[in-house]
Amino acid sequence: MMSLLLKGAYIITGDEKGTVIDDGYIGIRESIIDYIGIGYEGICDRYERVWNLKNKVVMPGFVNAHNHSAMTVFRNYADDLKLMDWLFNTIFPLEDKITAKDAYWATQLAIMEMIKTGTTAFCDMYMYMEETAIAVSEVGIKAALGRGLQGDIDTKDDFRLKESINLYRNFHGSNKGRIRVNLAPHSVYTCTMTYLEMVAKLAWDLNCEVQIHLSETDDEVRKSVAQHKMTPTKAADKAGLLNSKTIAAHCVAVNDNDLEILVNKKVNVVHNPSSNMKLGSGIAPIKRMIDKRINVALGTDGASSNNGLDMLTEMRNASYLQKVVLKDPTAINVDQVIAMATSNGAKALGFKNTGKIVTGYSADIIVIDIEKPWYYPRHNIKSSIVYSGCSKDVETVLIDGEIIMEKGQMLTIDEEKVLYEIQRAADDLFL
């Protein structure tokens, strides 16, 4: 039973109007924001604890809508390779050697990095998802988890599908609703049509989200056309996978017809600008999608194709890429990228009332120390964060009102142990 008042901060609310409140107050009761506005006499008496946050920015925590957390173990191991070469010749063979314990520590590392850079919820697709779910529960971050599915197998005996169903039964809605479980077919080019249809039916039965890599590269489109005689978007749609509960990562190589399908089926798109840049995949037509009212979220993708999990970098890259490709600095503005990094992601992942600082919403809140040279002078606080900010200035993180990090101290992770264990895991793996 905790109540907390945050007072005196610059508040970036992330609401539809892009409201910023100077010298603002946020009241938190249990897990919910119950007051937002300016101070009034006696307000401090209504809360058990009061934090004075002068010279701080308070904003909604970031939602990393596409990640493969345990891939932090591969960070900086295999870079500067072509996507398919990287995936099939380097990553997939190594993944066969990963143990459940490795995945657990790699996920702890990923979560530690995410919390320290202001992320309060993420979407994950990988293997050993029970270990991921345990790490997620222990730290207290929110997550939408899906066991990565690859289906050349057309039968229901597929062990990955069984793991998915068990994950759903054991963890969906657990840790006070902070964990959601979805189905995660890797892509249309690693699955047969029958398999994709089976996943779509199961998702319908469970009423859960589906996440999938969709049209990441031109090469993927060629593979899909060879295999399914259709673009990835059309193939996914034919399988029945596309609807408002679909989380489609990338959508770089989409044609006009694909875009119309994404609009009509109300698919959520996750833009991963750094990964797309590093793998030379291209630039997703994000402005066109936003203009067509597609819900566009932001993600980092796995740490081995990025090579970090820093959402502030993604915000800046997302903005700059659209400006570059369209040769138009007005292509995308700070309010749009803030929404992409917060409420749009929460919506995509199925977390209700999350991603904005408004009353009735979950208290998923980050505090950023702006008493640093790169935040002066203070003309526009949103621009300060998006264009000049540094995610390492995040000092405090609340999730559902619970303090996960306070003034740089992680309260639910043994930092030293995680760093030791991940290095040990990597040393064993790459012997």
- Chain residues binding Ni ion by CB under 5 A are 301
Shortest distance, position 276 Cβ to Ni ion, whole Å:
10
Residue 152 buriedness (CB in 10 A; 0-12 / 13-18 / 19+): exposed
Shortest distance, position 198 Cβ to Ni ion, whole Å:
22
Residue by residue, DSSP assigns 207-242 as T--EEEEES-SHHHHHHHHHHHSS-HHHHHHHTT--
CA dist., res. 338 & res. 341, Å (int) = 5
Shortest distance, position 325 Cβ to Ni ion, whole Å:
21
Residue nearest to Ni ion (CB): 301
Strands 296-298 and 268-271, sheet pairing? parallel
Phi and psi (nearest 5°) for 59? Answer: -150, 170
Q: Which is nearer to Ni ion, 270 or 413 (CB)?
A: 270
Q: Which is nearer to Ni ion, 301 or 393 (CB)?
A: 301
Q: Which is nearer to Ni ion, 209 or 301 (CB)?
A: 301
The angle at the Cα of 320, spanning 318 to 321, to the nearest 5 degrees, equals 65
Q: Which of 362, 350, 359 is nearest to 30 (CA)?
A: 362
Q: Which of 102, 101, 141 is nearest to 124 (CA)?
A: 141
Q: What is the DSSP letter of 61?
A: P
Shortest distance, position 330 Cβ to Ni ion, whole Å:
30
Shortest distance, position 240 Cβ to Ni ion, whole Å:
22
Phi and psi (nearest 5°) for 40? Answer: -145, 165
Q: Which is nearer to Ni ion, 113 or 301 (CB)?
A: 301
Strands 119-126 and 62-67, sheet pairing? parallel
Q: Which of 279, 160, 285, 183 is nearest to 240 (CA)?
A: 183
Shortest distance, position 285 Cβ to Ni ion, whole Å:
19
CA dist., res. 130 & res. 146, Å (int) = 10
CA dist., res. 181 & res. 191, Å (int) = 20
Q: Which is nearer to Ni ion, 91 or 198 (CB)?
A: 91
H or E stretch covering 348: helix 343-349
Q: Which is nearer to Ni ion, 317 or 384 (CB)?
A: 317
Could you tell me the two tokens for 104? 């657990």
Shortest distance, position 284 Cβ to Ni ion, whole Å:
13
Shortest distance, position 5 Cβ to Ni ion, whole Å:
40
Shortest distance, position 68 Cβ to Ni ion, whole Å:
6
Residue that is written with structure tokens 């138009």 in the block:
328
Q: Which is nearer to Ni ion, 231 or 272 (CB)?
A: 272
Q: Which is nearer to Ni ion, 301 or 402 (CB)?
A: 301
CA dist., res. 202 & res. 130, Å (int) = 19
Q: Which is nearer to Ni ion, 216 or 237 (CB)?
A: 216
